[in-house]
Amino acid sequence: MATKEEYWEITFEEKNELPEGYSSEDYEPADLGGTDHGANPVEYLLAAYAGCLNVMAHICAKELGFELKSIKIDICGNLNPARLFGQSFDERAGYKEITVKMRPDCNADAETLSKWKDAILNRCPVGDNLKNATDIVVNVK
């Protein structure tokens, strides 16, 4: 069964402020019975990864000896919702690919930025969980 892929995109800036009254509730789109006033679970996943990349970007810049004035992170992912809705089990339910574009405001040269990027990707815990299988234990009582 052919289904369309859905695409989510989030831009994360380290200076973003949370809106007043922010909560961690999930807001699914209206056609799924939600209010569509905030992030849904797969958008939270992208935001968690962007947030973790931001933290690691600052840590690694300091270790490499350059000033990271600010960073803008664009992150997006593609997934096919057919499994979510029980229409097809041919593909996995999660993101097929997550694409990240980091735009640092700094004076580091290209070689240093390459080392910086490698260090971030090597040490980011959220990225590690996304790239590697993680045992998940669910109990129902």
pLDDT at 81: 85
In the chain, domain spans: 6-131
CATH of domain 6-131: 3.30.300.20
Q: Which of 89, 58, 83 is nearest to 73 (CA)?
A: 58
Q: Which pLDDT value is given to residue 2?
A: 43
Rounded-to-integer distance, Cα 44 and Cα 140, Å? 24
User: What pLDDT does 21 receive?
Assistant: 55
Segments of the chain scoring below 70 in pLDDT: 1-29, 32-34, 37
Residue indicated by tokens 């803008």: 72
Residue range 101-128, pLDDT digits in tens: 999 999 999 999 999 999 999 999 999 9
